[in-house]
Amino acid sequence: MSEARSGIPLVDIEQLSSVFRTAGREFVVHRDLDLQVHAGELMSIVGGSGSGKTVLLRQMLGLERPRSGRVTVMGRSAAHLGEPGAASRVGMLFQRGALFSAFSVLDNIAFPLRELGTLPDDLVRDAALVKLQMVGLDPSQAHKMPADLSGGMIKRVALARALVMDPPLLLLDEPTAGLDPDSAEAFCRLLRSLHRELGLTVVMVTHDLDTLFELSTRVAVLAEHRVIVSGTPREVMAFDHPFIREFFLGDRGRRAVALLHEPPPAV
């Protein structure tokens, strides 16, 4: 998508500053943070615990307002994403991607469409069934309840729900955290094929180096309250910074780096 890269970014964050006030004290999360995500990219965001990765995704969704700076998503201020129907533009898989425990799999997936209230119920059900299969689950799972699902299946159902309105942009907060290695790898393969086949733009927060190397077209590193570097995994690893040395070249990093193959082809 080289032509798209020269156009306006799908996500454009400029001079972002995020400050929380707790117990009367100000706590800076982001300062002068800039980040652009172009159409077709699969961008991974990495950073230490508490560095503001989840807050950044929530700002892209319009769920949280920055102290100052601009968060523009598909040409509009993210503040508008809180409006009805916004789920058609951005899908989100939350870190603790809770399903509604009293709803079946199918009703969970259908929820955003039902909430919109514009489609007849049989169409809503059909759309939800299509998404169920798109995430690799059999229609026979449609009537199960969340309590009866494995961790990997819960993630898939939450992903189907995030995609039910065909958003061009998908945000994922630590999608493979808490999964066993086989489920994490299978989920990773699913994300890669959805990214390719649906032409999705994906922004993913992850600590999982296998997932990061396997999927990312670009990586952004959050440290010192801002994005200190963004680029291909190789470019980012070559950037000299204590967080990057620890993250990529600490013990857990070495194995993934040893397996590092060529970056995924441009989409």
Ligand X SMILES: Nc1ncnc2c1ncn2[C@@H]1O[C@H](COP(=O)(O)OP(=O)(O)O)[C@@H](O)[C@H]1O
Q: Which residues bind ligand X (CB under 6 A)?
A: 20, 22, 29, 47, 49-55
- Given ligand X, Mg ion, none, residue 29, with its beta carbon under 5 to 8 Å by kind, binds ligand X
CB of 57 to ligand X, least distance (A): 8
CB of 240 to Mg ion, least distance (A): 26
CB of 95 to Mg ion, least distance (A): 6
CB of 176 to ligand X, least distance (A): 15
In terms of CB distance, is 132 or 244 closer to ligand X?
244
Of the candidate spans 53-61, 85-93, 217-225, 231-239, the one that interacts with Mg ion by CB under 5 A turns out to be 53-61
d(CA 162, CA 181): 23
In terms of CB distance, is 29 or 113 closer to ligand X?
29
CB of 22 to ligand X, least distance (A): 5
d(CA 129, CA 151): 20
Q: What are phi and psi of 218, to 5 degrees?
A: -150, 150
- In the sheet that holds 68-73, the strands lie side by side as 25-37, 11-22, 68-73, 76-77
d(CA 208, CA 165): 28
In terms of CB distance, is 24 or 50 closer to ligand X?
50
In terms of CB distance, is 22 or 140 closer to ligand X?
22
- Given Mg ion, ligand X, none, residue 44, with its beta carbon under 5 to 8 Å by kind, binds none
CB of 55 to ligand X, least distance (A): 4
Q: How far is CA 56 from the centre of its chain?
A: 11
In terms of CB distance, is 4 or 223 closer to Mg ion?
223
Choose, by CB under 5 A, the member of 15, 17, 54, 88 that binds Mg ion: 54
In terms of CB distance, is 110 or 179 closer to ligand X?
179
CB of 78 to Mg ion, least distance (A): 18
- Given Mg ion, ligand X, none, residue 22, with its beta carbon under 5 to 8 Å by kind, binds ligand X
- Given Mg ion, ligand X, none, residue 146, with its beta carbon under 5 to 8 Å by kind, binds none
Of the candidate spans 48-56, 61-69, 119-127, 237-245, the one that interacts with Mg ion by CB under 5 A turns out to be 48-56
Q: How far is CA 73 from the centre of its chain?
A: 14
In terms of CB distance, is 116 or 177 closer to ligand X?
177
| Contacts to Mg ion by CB under 5 A | 54
